Amino acid sequence: MNRVTYFLALETSCDETAAAVFTDELQVLSSVVASQTDLHARFGGVVPEIASRAHLRSLLPVVDDALTRANIGLKDIGCVAVHNTPGLVGALLVGVSAAKALAFGLGIPLIAVNHVASHIFACRLAAGRDIFPCVGLVVSGGHTALFRCDAALSMELLGGTRDDAAGEAFDKVAAILGLGFPGGPAVEREAAAGNPKAHDFPRSFIDDGRLEFSFSGLKTAVMYACHGQDVKRAAPPGPGQKRADLAASFQSAVVDVLAMKCKQALRKTGLTRLAVGGGVSANKLLRAALEAMCKKEGAELFIPPLSLCTDNAAMAALAVEKWKLGEFAPDDLDAEPNWL
């Protein structure tokens, strides 16, 4: 009888402190996330130094909670996994340092996992079956990029954003409209009462065959539609139809671009599977648009449940693929803030 190997995974790439326990059979036994939203809300975005300090306070309690929920102890862990790239360097260092210490102290292997690749693997985890090869879209606060994914550990960049990521644009537009942080859920809530056709906002590159994105111009268009030319003196609009229409029109523009670029990627690669991960993939309008597009294209859509869309450590189960190949991290593993 084969013995099950338990993995402990850590995630501290941005503003979520997370730990998870899973097995070499991809069974997730626990997934714990400590959010820092309240700490960053008054600044309208993530403050790296605050994030790093919060990780220091939260990581060990989160690990302890994950182990307790999985009903195992540290002595039972056979491998430690950690997201070491990409992300905020100070935040990443907290997780990487803790993972290295745990692996060394327990005398077990350490595996470094790419946070972006993990977002795609979350689709595999949720599906419970193989999803590769596929086109992968990672759409989050820090990344908007399309990949050709021939296997879990084989990702070729097809195209990314030239400026703001989609999630970053949501945060900035939420700030313009006075909706608070995080911007994605705030804009989506406001857009529910708005008219998505009230403003004809730009959809950059939508008719361009290149698999690239740009959301900075869209954000600027929202700002001028909201305040006119005198933006320096303007205050955010109050509740009402104007604000709701701006939110709905902005959201519609982002969704249109993402859906079109996914369609173009499917046609260019000839692949018939689309896997979507990252915090923005929790957006209901985006999920519906991608579902409709894939149905028309005869493609299969994989989007994980909301708990696996935002940053978490369970998606680091990608480490199991590396573990099978014996791809362990060196003792001097470091945080790598930039990847793409």
CB 276 within 8 A of CB 290: yes
- Annotated binding-site residue? 188: yes
CA gap 226, 330 in Å, rounded: 51
Contact 187, 170 (CB under 8 A): yes
The answer to whether the bond into 48 is cis (omega within 30° of 0) is no
Q: Which amino acid is at 325?
A: L
Q: Is 140 annotated as a binding residue?
A: yes
Encoded tokens for 116: 């972006």
Phi and psi of 8, rounded to 5°? -110, 125
160 is in an annotated binding site: no
The answer to whether 256 is annotated as binding is no
Find out whether 184 is annotated in a ligand binding site: yes
> Is residue 207 a known part of a binding site?
no
The reply to whether 311 sits in an annotated binding site is yes
Write the CB contacts of 201 (distance below 8 Å, at least 6 apart in sequence).
218, 221, 222, 225, 249, 250, 252, 253
The runs of H, that is alpha helices, within the chain are 37-40, 48-70, 89-106, 115-127, 166-177, 183-191, 216-227, 241-269, 284-297, 306-309, 319-325
Q: Which of 297, 300, 221, 315 is nearest to 260 (CA)?
A: 297
Per the annotation, binding residues are 115, 119, 138-142, 171, 184, 188, 283, 311
Per the annotation, binding residues for substrate are 138-142, 171, 184, 188, 283
Per the annotation, binding residues for Fe cation are 115, 119, 311
